[in-house]
Amino acid sequence: MSTLEIRKLNKSFGALHVCCDVSLSVPEGECHALIGPNGAGKTTLIHQISGVLRSDFGQILLDGRDISNLSVSDRVQAGLGRTFQITSVLPSFTVLENLAIAAQAKSGSSMRFFRDASHETALNDLAQYTLERVGLGDRAHIAAGDMSHGELRLLELGIALVAKPRFLLLDEPMAGLGRAEGTALVTLLRELRASTPMLLVEHDMDAIFQLANTVSVLVEGGIVAQGTPDEVRASAAARAAYLGGDAP
């Protein structure tokens, strides 16, 4: 059974069809990459899976459970984690507090407001462990707003991971990263996919072909090619739609 399965997902805004009968599945231990030109509907699809947008019809299953009608928070409780195309953190809070608050929200340990989470030892231990895991252990006590762009991307990944997700949605995690930062993130995601399968939206084709077990090419809301990285690389439809004649 696939960890995440999408069945004939559809979404329209008036006469504009932005998601057209999209189906894909992601087994345990794998990374499924979603690529396509700007405006193809990739982020809209991520929004549908995460619950930010409700689909017009179709199904989303997580570990065999239909989560299509759950709220965003209920999908998180069900095990869905997500990073965003635009970094979303609490800039005035420390790095550690950002993660402790995320852990508190998932666990429901006290549900007190914001900084009270800093007094909960278990939350802070989990937050510090997660920071070490994403390479930010020495940045725990600085304000998130003082971090570099690359560090913020890692922090956002940490916020997703601290909730112990069953599945990760990654929306352009490489955006704005330098070469060294990107290499480090690819290494981390390669390690993570063994325990946390993921759907990856990304424009960095080197990262895609290093990480993905399966690649889907989305164009005008529909999948035009799907297969292993080598199969997609060799696909005439994929090359014409997105990869181009000089595809890696």
Residue 188's CATH number: 3.40.50.300
Are residues 74 and 61 located together in one domain of the fold? Answer: yes
Are residues 95 and 69 located together in one domain of the fold? Answer: no
For residue 247, pLDDT over 50 is answered with: no
For residue 114, pLDDT over 60 is answered with: no
Mean pLDDT of 151-174: 90
Are residues 175 and 139 located together in one domain of the fold? Answer: no
**Number of domains forming the structure of the chain:** 2
Show the domain range for 113: 90-163
Confidence of residue 248 (pLDDT cuts 50, 70, 90): very low
The confidence score (pLDDT) of residue 105 equals 76
For residue 245, pLDDT over 80 is answered with: no
Are residues 171 and 59 located together in one domain of the fold? Answer: yes
Q: Please identify, among 140, 163, 186, the residue that sits at the C-terminal boundary of a domain.
A: 163
For residue 20, pLDDT over 90 is answered with: yes
Mean pLDDT score of the chain: 87
Are residues 229 and 243 located together in one domain of the fold? Answer: yes
Are residues 54 and 4 located together in one domain of the fold? Answer: yes
The answer to whether residue 144 is domain-embedded is yes
Least-confidence region, from 8-17, 27-36, 144-153, 210-219: 144-153
Q: Which tokens is 7 given?
A: 């069945």
Are residues 14 and 74 located together in one domain of the fold? Answer: yes
Q: Please identify, among 147, 163, 179, the residue that sits at the C-terminal boundary of a domain.
A: 163
Mind listing the pLDDT tens digit for each residue in 232-242? 988 888 888 77
Mind listing the pLDDT tens digit for each residue in 56-111? 999 999 999 999 999 998 998 899 998 865 566 889 999 999 998 888 877 655 44
The confidence score (pLDDT) of residue 111 equals 44
Q: Please identify, among 134, 163, 192, the residue that sits at the C-terminal boundary of a domain.
A: 163
The answer to whether residue 60 is domain-embedded is yes
The answer to whether residue 84 is domain-embedded is no
For residue 1, pLDDT over 80 is answered with: no
Are residues 72 and 192 located together in one domain of the fold? Answer: yes
Percent pLDDT > 70 in the chain is 89
Are residues 181 and 192 located together in one domain of the fold? Answer: yes
